Amino acid sequence: MKKRELRSGYTTGACAAAAAKAAAQLLAVAYYATPMPTSPGKVSIPFPDGSRADFTIHASGYRRPGKTAFATVIKDAGDDPDVTNGAEIVAEAIIARKCLPSALVIKGGKGVGTVTKPGLAIALGEPAINPVPRKMIADAISEAFPGIPFRSSDRAVEITISVTNGELLAKKTLNERLGIIGGLSILGTTGIVRPLSSEAWTATIASSMDVAKAMGQTEIVLSAGRTSEKAHMKKYSLPEESYVMMGDYLEFSLREATARCFSNIYLCAQWAKMLKIAMATPQTHVRHGAIDLGKTVDFLNGIGVSVPKASEFNTAREIFDYLIANPADLQEALIKVCNAAKSYASDIADPVYLSAVLVDYDGEVIAYSN
């Protein structure tokens, strides 16, 4: 059976630009008596690469007749497992007196977060609408007012972007860690969401490190998951900005940390991920290859951790349980695995200090490298 090709979708930034253009078109009709678009239920917007895409307008109208126009777009992330898939992106447009700083002002409304920590692409106190989405909104708005010379007039367009239930959706993201408070970020560098791509995750890793650096942190904790991160927090209590969720992007995270000159790196993971790191695996997600138990057993015996042949195990967790059941050599065995992980990571990163920290399945730190 032929595998179905995964479907791409659109970023929150692209959806915001589409909603903004639709709202601006309605405003232009009311304020300047421009012709109504031939298909008010759809808008076409330009993308950064020069292409265009059509968006269906979910709802539109006027808040105050002739004064405030609004339009909404339902985000379609395609087959990407995005928490914002299905979110309603709302744009309101008004014509304001040009006491504003420019002919177009973009604001954040309810459900869009505010930047409260340095290190991001947006200034402190500004709505978390990233630079590329801002340009996409500006380009789309310019098409809604053809021939109207805003720059030479005393009028300006004010666009407010909101996200319905954005505050609740933001709780499922790392926004608060980044200092984005009160809602979601309006993101996107291309306008397109590629399903299961690494772009969003690696961008968050890089942004987390930028915030940590801007906040004056000199050491960083790269954790494979929330359980390992919480275990490190509980035991060592470093500042929140020091913690970066690397997920499966080990090599990328190590290189980014090195580029930002963090002096100390703590590599924190549970058994299966730590084993993969120790066995020199740059990307630890299972889709890049399930752990080979035969190679794992050979590797462990090769570093002096005595375990039976692979046929006695079905999973990496069973190997861990075997070691736990033989406590006499347990600590030494776990340290050897941590040391191997440290050795591999140190070949990629070159900090003053690097430590591999192992967390058990109960969420406790149980070993770390020498």
CA gap 331, 13 in Å, rounded: 50
Q: Mark whether 163 and 237 lie in a shared domain.
A: no
Q: Mark whether 209 and 187 lie in a shared domain.
A: no
| Residue that terminates a domain, selected from 153, 177, 193 | 193
Q: Give the lowest-confidence range in 32-36, 50-54, 70-74, 223-227.
A: 32-36
CB neighbour class for 208 (10 Å; exposed up to 12, middle 13-18, buried from 19): buried
In a domain, 1, yes or no: no
Query: According to the model, what pLDDT value does residue 197 have?
Result: 65
Confidence check: pLDDT of 227 > 80: yes
* Ramachandran sector of residue 237 (left: φ over 0; alpha: ψ -120 to 50; beta: rest): left
Query: According to the model, what pLDDT value does residue 286 have?
Result: 44
Q: Where are the alpha helices (DSSP H) in the chain?
A: 12-32, 131-144, 166-170, 175-178, 199-214, 226-236, 250-259, 271-278, 293-302, 316-324, 330-348
Query: According to the model, what pLDDT value does residue 284 have?
Result: 52
| Residue that terminates a domain, selected from 193, 216, 251 | 193
Half-sphere exposure in the Cβ direction for 353 (13 Å, CA): 12
Please name the amino acid found at residue 298: D
At 187-222, the pLDDT tens digits run 988 888 876 567 778 888 999 999 999 999 999 999
Confidence check: pLDDT of 38 > 80: no
Confidence check: pLDDT of 94 > 70: yes
Task: Count how many domains the chain has.
Answer: 2
Kindly state the average pLDDT of the residues 45-63: 94
Kindly state the average pLDDT of the residues 6-25: 92
In a domain, 4, yes or no: no
* Ramachandran sector of residue 294 (left: φ over 0; alpha: ψ -120 to 50; beta: rest): alpha
Q: Mark whether 129 and 231 lie in a shared domain.
A: no
The better pLDDT of the pair 21, 194 is held by 21
* Token reading at 162: 């909101």
CA gap 35, 21 in Å, rounded: 14
The better pLDDT of the pair 23, 104 is held by 23
In a domain, 146, yes or no: yes
Residue 132 maps to which CATH number? Answer: 3.30.2110.10
Q: Are 349 and 370 in contact (CB under 8 A)?
A: no
Kindly state the average pLDDT of the residues 271-288: 78
In a domain, 156, yes or no: yes
Query: According to the model, what pLDDT value does residue 302 have?
Result: 94
Q: Mark whether 267 and 327 lie in a shared domain.
A: yes
Q: Give the lowest-confidence range in 94-98, 224-228, 252-256.
A: 94-98
| Residue that terminates a domain, selected from 178, 193, 208 | 193
Q: Mark whether 87 and 205 lie in a shared domain.
A: no
Kindly state the average pLDDT of the residues 281-287: 60
Query: According to the model, what pLDDT value does residue 152 have?
Result: 47
Q: Mark whether 62 and 88 lie in a shared domain.
A: yes
In a domain, 87, yes or no: yes
Confidence of residue 291 (pLDDT cuts 50, 70, 90): confident
In a domain, 166, yes or no: yes
Confidence check: pLDDT of 230 > 90: yes
Query: According to the model, what pLDDT value does residue 96 have?
Result: 79
Query: According to the model, what pLDDT value does residue 148 have?
Result: 60
235 strand-pairing partners: none
Kindly state the average pLDDT of the residues 157-177: 94
Residues 247-282 as b/e (b if ≥16 CB within 10 A, e otherwise) read bbbbbbbbebbeeeebebbbbbbbbbbbbbbbbbbb
Query: According to the model, what pLDDT value does residue 1 have?
Result: 45
Q: Mark whether 40 and 123 lie in a shared domain.
A: yes
Residue ranges making up the domain that contains 261: 199-368
Q: Mark whether 257 and 355 lie in a shared domain.
A: yes
Query: According to the model, what pLDDT value does residue 285 have?
Result: 53
Q: Mark whether 211 and 150 lie in a shared domain.
A: no
Q: Mark whether 281 and 183 lie in a shared domain.
A: no
Q: Give the lowest-confidence range in 206-215, 271-280, 338-347, 348-357.
A: 348-357
Q: Mark whether 204 and 189 lie in a shared domain.
A: no
Confidence check: pLDDT of 128 > 50: yes
Kindly state the average pLDDT of the residues 165-188: 94
**For the chain, what is the mean pLDDT?**
88
In a domain, 3, yes or no: no
Please name the amino acid found at residue 61: G
* Ramachandran sector of residue 117 (left: φ over 0; alpha: ψ -120 to 50; beta: rest): beta
Q: Mark whether 63 and 205 lie in a shared domain.
A: no
